[in-house]
Amino acid sequence: MKHTVASSLARTLLVDFLEKSWPAIEKLVRHVSQFNPNSKSSYSLYVFRNGKKHIVNLNGKHYFLRSSVEYSNPQLTVEEAQGIIAARLLETCGNHFHHYGLKKPGSSDVNQMLEALQNPSEGPVKAFLLNTDDAEPDRYSMNPLKESIVATGQSAFPSANVKTEGLKLDENFVTKYLGTLISQKEAELIGHYVENWKGSYVDMVDALKYEQMDKLSETFSLNLNSLPAKRMPIETLREEDANGLLHHIIKEVHRNHSAFTEAYRCMGRSIRKRTTLLTVPHSAKGYGSKRAARGKIYFENQKLASIKVTYKTTLLYPNAIDPNDTSIAKAEGQFTVEGQKLTSYSFKQTPSSPQFFLYSLASPENAALWHGIGAYAAKQLLKSYTSIRTTCQNKPLIRNLENYNVTTKTPLQLNLDPQNMWVHPKHRNIDASIGCIENPEDLAKMGMKIQVI
């Protein structure tokens, strides 16, 4: 391999990764060796190239490893970059040692893996990005389009429903956070996109992030832009008919009081107050923020009678630079959904956003890579994610999952070590954009440690 600064960074990352994350690599390889491929399953994913969406069809012969990026910011963050690179390192190491056997890696192994990292993956392990399109477009107060997102009335919309018309770069945001959350080049790139893009906000964000992944690939001499992505839950629900998997899951958990009780238990909650909605119905105006929605569930005997939904303007989250700069979801309204519209669910009639622990059952993942569980990500989310699978193995909470080729076996759980998360070298924030990092070697030297949960 010809020596370049980029290939030197790739080597630094890989050697450090093999040393610090060997237990995770071992666990992954053992899981892959016990993996039972399912050729009946098929999955539609996508990549963006030069601003155009290309469909990637994959089957169940792959061992899927999930990472993710956000729609709450069009700029690629340091946290997202670490998750993407970690997924590629895991994928490549997993495929290499699955093929050659687990052994102490030598210089020949390192060279082979460095070459493999420059190309699209080959082997059973397939990394992908699961991008959740139900979150608000400025959830963490780090979107440089934030002012116009509020002004166009879309701050409480699910990102999947946001349109780019009327959006524009917030110059005050750029001035305030230049060098900490966004770079000048990124601001110009985002400004160009939003001026020329018509229609879907999530398509625009994906196109932007894949373009930034192109540059990141060059910086680190890694092939990152071939990682396919999948959007859930809204895009998946839109594409399904009423007999689709996510529709089936929503029907099953709403079918009676007992099903609600079990689903609540998976979330670590009591059914007594009946205020947590298992899927959040969108309002006629398009509101769908889970934070802005308040619910009340009513039963007649064991049967779901109705759900009352109230949307209220709600503060979301601050960014890591200014704890007083909290994003907002502006929404007002109240309506009632008849129980029958959920027990016989149709997204076309009653658009809604199911909770993550439910729709994650439809993700093809055999392994999940979390971003800093215990410090930057919620432990409760992981608990509900694993609990729903254990419950479905032991009790008929969601019946007939086997008809959809869904396994309730809990995927291998991996985690970017919270103590080793990449941060801005000076400001120490994980939500800095990748463009704020003047010297990529600073990130490579931080290394990459992945835990087995």
How many CB atoms are closer than 10 A to CB 147?
Answer: 17
Looking up tokens 């450090």 gives 16
Sign of the Cα pseudo-torsion (274, 276, 278, 283, in order):
positive
Q: Is pLDDT of 5 > 80?
A: no
How far apart, in whole angstroms, are the C-alpha atoms of residue 213 and residue 52?
14
Element (H, E) at 53: strand 52-60
Here the tokens at position 152 are: 């166009």
How far apart, in whole angstroms, are the C-alpha atoms of residue 28 and residue 356?
24
pLDDT on residue 375: 67
Q: What percent of the chain is predicted at pLDDT more than 90?
A: 90
Which residue from 301, 265, 279, 233 is spatially nearest to 392, judged by alpha carbons? 265
Average pLDDT over residues 368-394: 85
User: What residue spans define the domains of the chain?
Assistant: 5-136+206-235+358-452, 240-355
CB 47 within 8 A of CB 61: no
What band does 396 get if pLDDT is binned at 50, 70 and 90?
Answer: confident
419-452 pLDDT, tens digit each: 999 999 999 999 999 999 999 999 999 989 999 9
Q: Is pLDDT of 169 > 60?
A: yes
Q: Give 97's contacts (C-beta < 8 A, 6+ positions apart).
A: 25, 29, 103
Average pLDDT over residues 335-341: 98
What band does 7 get if pLDDT is binned at 50, 70 and 90?
Answer: confident
What band does 377 get if pLDDT is binned at 50, 70 and 90?
Answer: low
pLDDT on residue 3: 53
CB 245 within 8 A of CB 105: no
DSSP per residue over 92-128, as a string? HHHHHHHHH-S----HHHHHHHHHHHTS---SSEEEE
pLDDT on residue 147: 97
How far apart, in whole angstroms, are the C-alpha atoms of residue 117 and residue 227?
12
Average pLDDT over residues 141-166: 98
pLDDT on residue 171: 96
Tell me the backbone φ, ψ of residue 58, rounded to 5 degrees. Answer: -130, 155
pLDDT on residue 2: 46
Residue type, 84: I
CB 182 within 8 A of CB 169: no
Average pLDDT over residues 83-109: 96
Here the tokens at position 177 are: 């956070």
How far apart, in whole angstroms, are the C-alpha atoms of residue 45 and residue 222?
21
Mean pLDDT is lowest, of 86-100, 259-273, 284-298, for 259-273
DSSP per residue over 136-187, as a string? -TTTTS--TTHHHHHHTT-TTS-GGG-B-TT----HHHHHHHBTTTB-HHHH
pLDDT on residue 170: 97
Measured in residues, the chain has a length of 453
pLDDT on residue 1: 42
pTM value > 0.75: yes
How far apart, in whole angstroms, are the C-alpha atoms of residue 109 and residue 95?
12
CB 38 within 8 A of CB 63: no
pLDDT on residue 374: 67
204-219 pLDDT, tens digit each: 999 999 999 999 999 9
Q: Is pLDDT of 364 > 50?
A: yes
